[in-house]
Structure 1
Amino acid sequence: MMHRLSRAVTTAALGSLLLIAGCSDSSDRVDAPTEPEVPEVPVEPEPEPGGQPIDLTLLHLNDHHSHIVAERFDFDTSGLNLATTTASGAAVAEVEVTYGGFPMLVTLFNTLAANAEHVIKLHAGDAVTGTLYYSLFNGRADAEVMNQVCFDAFALGNHEFDDGDAGLANFLDFLNSGACATPTLAANVVPGPDSAIAEGYIAPYTIVERGGEQIGIIGIDVAGKTKNSSQPDAGTEFLDETETAQQYIDELTGMGVNKIVLLTHYGYQADVTLAQNLTGVDVIVGGDSHSLLGDDTFATLGFNPVGEYPTVTADADGNTVCVVQAWEYGHLLGQLDVRFDANGVVTGCSGMPVMPIADSFSYAFNDDESRTLDGNDAIAVRNALEAEDEIAVTAEDATTVQLLAGFNEEVEVLEQTLIGSVAEDICLERFPNEGRSSVCDISVTYNQGSDISNIVAKAFMTVTPTADIGIQNGGGVRVDVAAGDFTIADAFTLLPFSNTLVTLQMTGQEVINVLEDALANALDAGGSTGSYPYASGLRYAVDASQPFGSRISNVEVNPRVAGSWAPIDVAAVYSVVTNDFIASGQDGYDTFGPIFDAGNYEDTFTEYAQGFIDYVEQLTAQGLPLSKLPLDEYSTQSYIGSDGCDHSTSNDCAGF
């Protein structure tokens, strides 16, 4: 540009000199000198920009796990001075708020899309497995409600492979049976030659056009976790996430596409690291870790946000990358606004998760009756909630409601079967202090981890008379258990996979080894937090800061919790009951694998959710509710985090 400017000035100056030296009209003089020719210098054209500036709105969902209908949370109204009273005459201090679920989400997606100019709708994986909607309908219910949103792209998650490649193909057939035809993306998934998804089911990326601009969307699935913790076909391969992402970023940018979105099922912290190791990525819309991002609004409501929305970082070249995720179970959707300049560089991003809630609030009038808040009190509650930008009172989409009615008739048959009661809220966690629970403060699981996972291990041991010890992976237990009634449906929601209980004969040393295996898979690169081991009749200390082989110590046994605790005998043989998935060596439980493969196990043919049902029914027959175990029965007796912080002696350890 400077070169072109100086050349223009020279030409103008030369013209001025000629006018000064001669007459204003050269025809007045015969001998007037002719104007010298200015040699033509080729002018280089200015480089054209890569396109036009554009603002995009990305509306996204992840990890809904067959949670199709709305759920509820309690909202503290003690500061609102409500006039409504309970049967005892006390002011209502807490109401129940209905939130999330596809009938409201469909409306919210449509509303937000109508109020933005350039919208892309994305789902970052783990659509299936988790409730009776999947157990009964094998993905059809999930596909049909997803098609009401009509996503522009869907990335495969690890749980899409829970029923093998054939099960995934079945779900994708449902997803593509309507007019939507959502592209399914998985750049790092290479189906085996005999895989049911080998032809025409998945693509590495899709390109969408908004405002005349092309946006490339690349799908990435978590490789190690899917291969080891789900059930893909043996011939299906999962490539390195970072290398594959860079390969397709380069391919798209080579085609002139300069706005790149990674749609990943890789985990929040892994996404941040991924962004920093790549060049050319602009946005990562993720899933897998069930991470709630956002401000104090969600903490005030009793949830556990773990980072900012959006989380802004930089790629390997220092360019801005915006990273987001939208929690879990259809509780909310994410709304990310991204500003691109003409060259496809992100100049800013903003947004928030948006939680749809119903315009109706119930309260406990007495122990046996709930009532709906009305009048000014209902308005006061609605106004208090809607004062937060992240909360949106939302009507249900009528078409989606009607669609679900047919599915619900079958689901309700099981939901109505009461098998027991729950005395108190029982927390779900994987690692101690992870913050996964939706009903318990993180302090409750700070040192010993999950309540319910220990109970599940005890249930399996209890209903298997030959077992000395029960072992259960944390990721196989899916939800908190709230105080109140407990139904068959609750059991299948808690334990949604098609696993059976098996027993293996193991030496004490092999038991220690399998605990070390599980921790290594959870803590080391490429693993899953769902590998974290819980047990019954077995307890130990964990030091996650130590190297493999030195993380488990002070191992004690109390077979069937029928006697006293004693140090494990490394040479003695114990009967261990677990689910057949990890018994086969999956999810990092490597020591189990050779024993299982050699046929040295006994299959009880008890479906693992049914095993838990049997346990609850045994408690009920004894007049006992389901409740937390005594602390001395928890498998994790003490915990030192990967940062070396001892949760037993310090109350402010930062993570796990």
Structure 2
Amino acid sequence: MYSKKWIKLLLHFALVISLSALLYSCGNDDNDEEPQDNAPKNSAVSVKLIHTNDHHSYLDSSAYDLTIDGVATRVQMGGFARLAEVIQEERTSNSIVVNSGELNGTLYFSMFKGEPDFKVFNELALDGYTLGNHEFDEGDEGLAKLIEIANFPILSSNITPKPESPLYRVKDKIKPYVIKEIDGQKIALLGILKVEKTKNSSMVSDNVEFTDEIDTAKKYVAELTAQGINKIILVSHLGYYNDLLLAKNVSGIDVIVGGDTHDLLGNPSQLAEVGLKQTYDNQTGPFEGYTHDGIKEEDLGSYPTTVSAPDGNPVHVVTAWCYARAVGILNVDFSADGIAQMAKGKLVIPVGGPYQQKDGSGTFVDVSETVKTALITAINKTSLLRTKEVNTTIENILKPYRDQITAAMSQVVGTVTTTLGYDRIPSAFTAGSTPTGSYAAQIVTDAFKQTNPAIDIAIQNAGGVRTTINQGTITMGDIIAVLPFSNTVAMINMKGSDIVQVLNEAAYYSLHSGSSGAFPYASGLRYDVNLSGAEGSVITNVEVQDRTAGTWSTIAANTVYTVATNSFTAQGKDNYLSFKRVRDADPSVYEDTSILYYIPLVQYFENLPGKILPALDTSTYCLKSVTN
């Protein structure tokens, strides 16, 4: 029998609830308590997660060498016009499509600041996009403009803009989480980013507040649980090891879809079949107060990588490589209790032509139509690869931007005689032998030094140089690809002791934080490097070159030198703390030239005899020796 209280309640809500909901409520016999209207009725559900990350504005496909039927084959891999075809093919009513963040890296960003990226994501109708550190590379205002473009949810639970930040005007569009409903089940998508890396390796202002990653995750898991939601997916920009670390320290999260560290996960034999292998060796440091102890004991490299939360429940961690090369597809079966009982999937790597293989001279050339047909058949039999044509809608979005890039960037600037690599951290070599490291970064610093005759020394973080300087002609587009950020050249007057300190701050940080891009290269300086040196002792025996005479001598601790660097490191980013300390102590010693930092490299080529860059002069290379 129904109680009087229950009948009154039904009558009270009769005008505001549907007939179907009313009948459902009446079916609960012997229930004399008031119903929990906001609590979902949890049941089992299957979900397909479709995810990308770390595309770094690689919106177009790019050439990549794979092994197809045992033969080295060059294909066009990825690009969002092909990824869109995979997403469209895989998408169902039970799917969730997310991106774990990361812009900047190509001319698309250098010239258009993320606008084409976000227009593509609008077309893909993402269910969630988590902010990464590079989303802040154009400062708070640049990101605010992008968020204004977005018609998809922007996720980040551990940032809060103050009223002074331009991001404050879009604060209501930055959500800690959103709720997706599938088959009547509420599934939470929670976003989070790495605090230290964002603060130190982006242009975010001091008017954005950050909160601890693990504490924030616990807070919002508790909030969601209180709402009766027991199926939670974390869309993170923390890095693979940190995803595993968080999973092992926070109960209530079922799946982590990650980004930041460009990891290639998957079945080793399936990867090897097409000439690939697992990679997860570019990890950032752990959260403050935590360590990565025990992480290497997990089943690293697997897709998904499954670890146990503190409550003993499984947490499945996935990520989908980088540079728009792949789409991750993870099928998850949730129990009514919110346990991800099964999680299986893999990467899908879309490829297309032209298809090339080596001729008798070892040069990649287009294959015949017969070989092409056989290649396409072989590709589509593999576990990971799919041949895909480009999505015309995405192509139409990108074409006007691509045309502008082509028109502006095809101008030849000069000629390079020998390819200059860009290995961020140098390997060991003895004095007088062939040096290692980033020759490309050295040339960039040489160019910086010529910006102004007052400059004694130039210093550049390795990560600010984004690609090799290849042998052959070099165009304006190539130069901007090498230096894609919107940095300017800055000048700071500082003592020799401060210069040695800033070199060591950056070098030690690059070796111990996982942010290898902090490693310093310089023009007008030479030094020895001890990769196992203590803090303050990685870089020793620093010499400085007299800018007039060209002679070298030990750097003088109390002599003031004029240093050129980029505006990013000049703010103390990438742990170049002494740049900021010296600048804050006396702002008059600092000058921002307002010269975009790729312009000196263009002028450097223009001033070379015949605009020809010779092989690196090892006598002036900044690294004298490197020991392990």
Superposed pair shares fold, TM > 0.5:
yes
Give the letter aligned to residue 347 of structure 1: Q
Q: Secondary structure at the match of 1:357?
A: strand
Compared CA separation, residues 480 and 289, structure 1 to 2 (3 A) = farther
Question: In structure 1, how many angstroms separate the alpha carbons of the residues matched to 2:609 and 2:526?
Answer: 27
Scaled by the length of structure 1, the TM-score of the pair is 0.77
Structure 1 residue aligned with 2:305? 311
Amino acid at match of 2:87: F
Aligned partners of 1:448 and 1:634 also within 8 Å? no
Secondary structure in 2 matching 1:377: helix
1:531 paired to 2:518: yes
Equivalent residue in structure 1 for 2:182, among 181, 189, 210: 210
Task: Return the letter of the residue paired with 2:557.
Answer: V
Alignment of structure 1 residues 388-427 onto 2, 5 Å: 388-423=382-417, 425-427=419-421
State the distance in 2 between where 1:227 and 1:314 align: 30
What is aligned with 1:476? 464
CA drift of 1:352 comes to 2.0
- Alignment-derived partner of residue 102 in structure 1: 80
**Pairwise CA distance, 1:256:** 1.4
Report the CA distance shift for 1:481/1:60 in structure 2 as closer, same or farther (over 3 A). Answer: farther
Q: How many Å apart are 1:278 and its aligned residue?
A: 1.2
Report what 2:98 is aligned to. Answer: 122
Asked if the contact 2:195–2:210 (Cα under 8 Å) also holds between the matched residues in 1, the reply is: yes
- 2:571 corresponds in structure 1 to 584
Rg larger for: 1
Of residues 354, 361, 365, the one that matches 1:360 is 354
CA contact (8 A) 1:97 1:357 kept: yes
- Report SS of the residue matched to 1:613: helix
Matches within 5 A, 1:67-216: 67-75=58-66, 80=71, 95-114=73-92, 118-126=94-102, 128-176=103-151, 182-198=152-168, 199-216=171-188
- Say if 1:51 and 1:343, in contact at 8 Å, map to a contact too: yes
261 and 490 in structure 1: CA distance in 2 versus 1, 3 angstrom threshold: same
Aligned residue runs from structure 1 range 461-472, under 5 A: 461-472=449-460
The match for 1:440 is none
- What's 1:344 paired with? 338
1:512 aligns with 2:512: no
Q: Which moved more, 1:415-424 or 1:500-509?
A: 415-424
Structure 1 residues 504-562: Cα deviation after superposition (integer angstroms, max 9, x where no partner): 2222211111022223544566x844322222333434445554323333334445698
**SS at structure 1 position matched to 2:330:** strand
Contact 2:458–2:563 under 8 Å retained in 1 = yes
Q: 1:450 to 1:118 in 2, by over 3 A?
A: farther
- Once the two structures are TM-superposed, the CA of residue 393 in structure 1 deviates from its matched residue by 0.8
Across the aligned residues of Structure 1 and Structure 2, the Cα RMSD in angstroms comes to 3.1
C-alpha distance in 1, partners of 2:623/2:50? 41
Contact 1:130 1:478 in 2 (8 A): yes
Q: Which residue of 2 aligns with 1:229?
A: 201
Unaligned runs of 5+ in 1: 1-47, 81-93, 177-181, 434-445, 640-645, 647-656
Whole-angstrom CA distance in 2 between matches of 1:470 and 1:281? 47
- Aligned mates of 1:244, 1:386 — CA distance in 2: 43
SS in 1 for 2:588: coil
Give the whole-Å Cα distance in 2 for the aligned partners of 1:482 and 1:336.
38
> Relative to 1, partners in 2 of residues 1:426 and 1:99: Cα closer, same or farther, differing over 3 Å?
farther
Q: How far, CA to CA, are the matches of 1:544 and 1:561 in structure 2?
A: 32
1: CA distance, partners of 2:458 / 2:472: 26
Asked if the contact 1:61–1:333 (Cα under 8 Å) also holds between the matched residues in 2, the reply is: yes
Q: Judging changes above 3 Å, is the alpha-carbon distance between structure 1 residues 287 and 484 closer, same or farther for their aligned structure 2 residues? A: farther
Partners of 1:183 and 1:409 in 2: how far apart? 30
2:446 corresponds in structure 1 to 458
Query: Do the aligned partners of 2:414 and 2:611 also contact (CA within 8 Å) in 1?
Result: no
Q: 3-state SS of the aligned residue for 2:172? A: coil
Determine which of 25, 44, 48 is the counterpart of 1:57: 48
Q: Decide whether the 8 Å contact of 1:469 with 1:559 is kept in 2.
A: no
Do the aligned partners of residues 271 and 518 (structure 1) sit closer, same or farther apart at CA in structure 2, a change above 3 Å counting?
same
Equivalent of 2:243, from 255, 271, 274?
Answer: 271
> Are the counterparts in 1 of residues 55 and 324 from structure 2 also a CA contact under 8 Å?
yes
Say if 1:79 and 1:253 are closer, same or farther in 2 by CA, change over 3 A.
closer
- Contact persistence 2:44–2:335 (CA under 8 A): yes
Q: By how many angstroms is 1:447 displaced? A: 9.1
With structure 2 as the length reference, what TM-score do the two structures score? 0.81
Structure 1 vs Structure 2: percent identity of aligned residues?
37
Is 1:569 the counterpart of 2:541 in the alignment?
A: no
1:466-488 per-position Cα deviation (integer Å, ceiling 9, x unaligned) = 33322111232223444444221
Counterpart pick for 2:598 among 609, 620, 641? 609
Return the letter of the residue paired with 2:98.
L
- Measure the CA separation in 1 of the matches of 2:418 and 2:235: 38
Structure 1 distance, partners of 2:560, 2:120, is 50
Asked if 1:372 is matched to 2:366, the reply is yes
What SS does the corresponding residue of 2:568 show, helix, strand or coil? helix
Question: Which residue identity is paired with 1:121?
Answer: V
The match for 1:17 is none
Amino acid at match of 2:128: A
Counterpart Cα distance in 2 of 1:166 and 1:276: 36
Q: Distance in 1 between matches of 2:113 and 2:40?
A: 48
